[in-house]
Structure 1
Amino acid sequence: MTDPVRLADMENGAKTMAASEAIGMRLGLGGNKTLTIGEKDLVLFDGKGKHTIPLYNVLWAELSGDSLVVDYAAPRKSSLKLQKWTFALPTPETETGGPTPQSFVLALIAAAYGGAKPRKRAYVLINPNSGPGGAVGKWKKHVKPIFEAARMELDVVNLSRGGEATELSEKADIEKYDTIMALSGDGTPYEIFNGLGRRPDAAKALAKIAVSHIPCGSGNAFSLNCNGTNDAGLSALAVVKGVVMPLDLVSITQGDRRILSFLSQSLGIIAESDLGTENLRWMGNTRFEVGLATRVFKKKSYPFDLSVKLEIEGKEMIKQHYKKYASDSTLLNVDVEAAANGEEGLPKLKYGTVQDELPGDWETAPYDNIGTFYVGNMAYMSPDANFFTAAVPTDGLMDLVMIPADISPVAVTKALLAVESGKFFDNPHVTYKKISAYRITPRNQESGYISIDGERIPFEPFQAEIHRGLGRVLSKRGVYEAEGPAGWEKA
């Protein structure tokens, strides 16, 4: 094993080399054996043939004694398997020129990580009770070995109660870590964001610490959007190679309370199918499907009054907006100071709270026959459930979806099934708008379910307003791992 001083030197050396400089570098290993850094692969020629490892799967490389060692995560049909390539270094007498082994190692690390930070420092919060359970086992078997092979620095806590992740994030040393990571469902990331949001230096903390996620729950929307997978091992690799991505966050005010939402807000069938099936948590994601099936056929409506700050209306205009961001990734860049509006704590609320008078330029209307009210600022809400197909990480807008209750159960079912086929957006029964703020006031119900990022809040009026790029997450490519609706072409 390389000693800590050399390890740090290698990491710093890799940072100073651009990945593009490493492409094409070849190391002779004696005889006719060579290692070459390609554009996408590490290539071994050994005289018998060509062998490759995707650079994305290379976790680390180092000189150990008289050997060069490459740690990598070998792709498998299901998840990954850790493996090594070990090569005896040529003696001075047999060297044939070219780069030194040390410079080759630095180049390989630079090429393997690209814009990602090697050896991330992670504060790992494991929720052993998420979803059907099993987070501790996934950590030991699928996640920790990959992180250790990538030489990450890990501080690990096994959570013992709800709210603990909020408290730990509120008190975390933001100079000590690159990411606060949740092994959980979506509830623990929700707690992490809100813990950071409680800090006196909330704006700085949210901009400095990237939240990351290893899926161990029922929905795992965070991982699906940012890692592109619902698998713990593949997500671990995505975090190792993850880049920091700005993320819009939403302030929710209810009564005298203010919380942050990173994912979604819902009322109606979706909220009840989630929160009303807690007793079926052992079923994993299937509980949502059971909840939907038992509620759709009741044709139950959820009346409310809704006021919105409308930004984009009309599905064709929304398509054009999405295409613009999909074709120009520079639009996703957000100035940190602008996102925080110069505040130390959370940004001031542009539209006040749910207790203030409604702004004059908001549109207000009563809705008596809505079955699904759903607002999101990510795309996937669960596996195969890309509800918000026009969602953009940092466009400063929320996506609002509504489905009426006074249509046939078959029509509602077709609309919801269209989520999996990518045809949900174009379904004629689906209302889709881009908004920047809203207030919703439930009517004619004494009790019910309101879900914020999968967490239940009181069945009372609440107001939401978005803050562009206020948060940071680790993501696989710096964009959502979701495609636009079927048939959309990027501009």
Structure 2
Amino acid sequence: MDPKIAESDPPSYRNGITKVLQYGEFTATGNRKVRYAVSLTERDLTIQKITSTPVGRSKVVFNLRDCVGCRAFSADDNADAGAYFSVYFYPFKRRWMSSGVARQRVEQCFRVALFQDPRANLEEAEKWAGTIRESSVRQQHLRNRVLYSEVHRPCSVMLLVNPHSGKGQALSLFTGHVQRMLNEAGVPHTLVITERQNHARELVREADLSKWGALVIMSGDGLLFEVVNGLMEREDWEKAIQTPLGILPGGSGNALAASIHHYSGAQPVSSEELLVSCGFLLCKGLVSRMDLASVHLGSSPSNPTRLFSFLSLAWGFVADVDVESEKYRHVGAARFTMGTLVRLASLRVYKGRLAYLPVDEVDGEEDGQSPVSLEEMTSISPQHQPPSSAFCSSTLLCRPLKDSPCQNAAHHTFRNSNNAFKGKKREPMSANATLTGPPDSLLVPLDQPVPSDWVVVPEEDYVLMLAMYQSHLAKDLYVAPDSTLDDGLIHLIYVRAGISRMALLRLFLAMEKGTHLANNCPHLVYTRVRALRLEPYSSKGVITVDGEVVEYGPVQAQVHGGIARLITR
């Protein structure tokens, strides 16, 4: 390459209305006869192939919002005086044999050979890498209305993996997809492989959280359930629960991962594409508030125990399918389809009493004082995109900028798998008897009547009761279309007995697209509440919290708005 050409001024000071920050001409890594003109603005990286005639020029533009990182490095060959910088993008691209789009990896690498001195070339490559990283971060936060000066940069990430979740492929998915993404983004991480049930819960309960910028879970929703409750059992729970949490789908249901992907505004995707999407969000590192629900349960209502939930509380059909489909775990997410068909063939009915505290006002409209079926509602929007203001608290996770101590940090791996828990039998999850955490001002003891401002549903037979705080119950079950991460609401759905098997099947098929609330099913009731109580009268049954089996008996819950932190967009 001619150094005079490479060091020439940019062809224009402004690209449209955006200032050109850097301009240079470099060769391709595989063929030094191929040259590219590279132009960096505050928003884009433009790459144009240079040929002998203008007709032969080809140009591609990458949005910096899709960039996860950039690194500079010297040549492996000591005889090569050039240096290199690689930029890593995950833009949306059309999927093969599909009309949808998903994030796909694109790497752009350039050789810098402006000088005879290898150190000078490396300095130039590092200058490009640093400016690209800074511009990517700044563009992201300007878009999300976050001041760049307010961004925090914690460094190390503890990444907990359950090697037996889903089809037992979580570890291979990590090494095949996530590890490379984290390295590209410069996110130092320590891998911890869980050995048994409640291993993660015990670990985070005792951990020195000052060493960690975030706790990331790669598993199904069960491992995050352990982590949340481990944090809430600490004496410093109020500070501990604000540790940013990340979720990477490695299980069967992957409900929270599907919800995060949905909140980002992206189209539904397949399993590995969902992993790439969540990995991208993790690398970008925006942190939002997330609601938790405090759940009281126990066969002795006068002495309840408490745990914390980030996803759902279920009784009846949904809980039955979740637990009974464990035998089909080897088929992955299809286990829920198989479990649903089996349970439909022998539909159960449960007797109990349900009560709840309705939301006083939602979206400017008064909430009714009694439940109504969907056929009685005049209009329901099956689709709802959360407003940008839902993400009211954003920080940055481990973005390695120039002179950042994270930039050259080592990546460590700890593996603990001698006595791995295989999850063959699901025991009821233990609850926290010390009742740490925020006070539940809306609840009274389980052995006392609910307050007078609660709605008490007359005793009747139910097929299912489901309380949701996120949009998805599984990757393909869009149960609460109006839900957002921190809306401070419990989205309560229950189905009365009398519904036919075919109608119930249609209901679940409609949940795949979130249109079930507009199906006018007379047996389906949906309402938004702040707290609820369920008193099962049937002697046998299953109650799950975040998909985990808990002690069967009276249960009540109250939502606590935005007390946790989740890495999302």
TM-score range, shorter chain: 0.7 to 0.9
What are the superposed Cα offsets for residues 297-344 of structure 1, whole Å, 9 maximum, x if unpaired? 434211110110011347779969996x834x3355379xxxxxxxx9
SS for the counterpart of 2:251 is coil
Question: Displacement of 1:56 after TM fit?
Answer: 3.9
Distance 1:189 1:331, change over 3 A: closer
In structure 2, the partner of 1:34 is: 37
Question: Displacement of 1:212 after TM fit?
Answer: 0.9
Of 354, 357, 372, the residue aligned with 1:309 is 357
Question: Displacement of 1:218 after TM fit?
Answer: 0.5
Give me the whole-angstrom Cα distance separating, in 2, the residues matched to 1:118 and 1:34.
32
In structure 2, the partner of 1:398 is: 490
The 8 Å contact of residues 27 and 101 in structure 1, kept in 2 or not, is answered as no
User: What are structure 2's unaligned runs of at least 5 residues?
Assistant: 1-16, 28-34, 51-56, 75-81, 97-102, 118-122, 142-150, 263-268, 299-303, 360-366, 395-434
The 8 Å contact of residues 264 and 376 in structure 1, kept in 2 or not, is answered as yes
In structure 2, the partner of 1:442 is: 536
Identity percentage of aligned residues: 24
The 8 Å contact of residues 318 and 390 in structure 1, kept in 2 or not, is answered as no
The 8 Å contact of residues 319 and 390 in structure 1, kept in 2 or not, is answered as no
The two structures have a TM-score, normalised by structure 1, of 0.81
Give me the whole-angstrom Cα distance separating, in 2, the residues matched to 1:177 and 1:317.
50
Of 510, 516, 527, the residue aligned with 1:424 is 516
Give me the whole-angstrom Cα distance separating, in 2, the residues matched to 1:404 and 1:300.
11
Of 208, 211, 215, the residue aligned with 2:245 is 211
In structure 1, the partner of 2:440 is: 349
Distance 1:267 1:40, change over 3 A: farther
User: What are structure 1's unaligned runs of at least 5 residues?
Assistant: 1-20, 94-98, 336-343, 478-491
Of 537, 541, 551, the residue aligned with 1:458 is 551
In structure 1, the partner of 2:469 is: 377
What are the superposed Cα offsets for residues 335-366 of structure 1, whole Å, 9 maximum, x if unpaired? 9xxxxxxxx95111112443444222111123
Quick check: which has more Rg, 1 or 2? 2
Question: Displacement of 1:55 after TM fit?
Answer: 2.5
The 8 Å contact of residues 490 and 529 in structure 2, kept in 1 or not, is answered as yes
Distance 1:321 1:46, change over 3 A: closer
Distance 1:303 1:89, change over 3 A: farther
Give me the whole-angstrom Cα distance separating, in 2, the residues matched to 1:428 and 1:23.
54
- List aligned pairs for 1:4-403, cutoff 5 A: 24-29=20-25, 33-38=36-41, 41-47=44-50, 48-65=57-74, 66-73=82-89, 77=95, 80-81=104-105, 83-91=107-115, 104-113=128-137, 114-115=140-141, 120-207=155-242, 209-228=243-262, 230-231=271-272, 232-255=275-298, 256-311=304-359, 312-313=367-368, 326-327=386-387, 329-330=388-389, 332-333=391-392, 346-350=437-441, 351-403=443-495
AA aligned to 1:107 is T
In structure 2, the partner of 1:11 is: none
Give me the whole-angstrom Cα distance separating, in 1, the residues matched to 2:240 and 2:551.
28
The 8 Å contact of residues 220 and 383 in structure 1, kept in 2 or not, is answered as yes
AA aligned to 2:132 is L
Distance 1:363 1:332, change over 3 A: farther
Give me the whole-angstrom Cα distance separating, in 2, the residues matched to 1:24 and 1:409.
62
The 8 Å contact of residues 536 and 553 in structure 2, kept in 1 or not, is answered as yes
What are the superposed Cα offsets for residues 90-124 of structure 1, whole Å, 9 maximum, x if unpaired? 3499xxxxx97655433311232323877852101
Give me the whole-angstrom Cα distance separating, in 2, the residues matched to 1:320 and 1:295.
29
In structure 1, the partner of 2:422 is: none
SS for the counterpart of 1:46 is strand
Give me the whole-angstrom Cα distance separating, in 2, the residues matched to 1:347 and 1:318.
36
The 8 Å contact of residues 71 and 184 in structure 2, kept in 1 or not, is answered as no
SS for the counterpart of 2:246 is strand
What are the superposed Cα offsets for residues 173-232 of structure 1, whole Å, 9 maximum, x if unpaired? 22222211111111001111111111111111112x111111111100111111455423
Distance 1:425 1:92, change over 3 A: farther
AA aligned to 2:486 is T
AA aligned to 2:21 is M
Give me the whole-angstrom Cα distance separating, in 1, the residues matched to 2:563 and 2:222.
19
Question: Displacement of 1:41 after TM fit?
Answer: 3.8
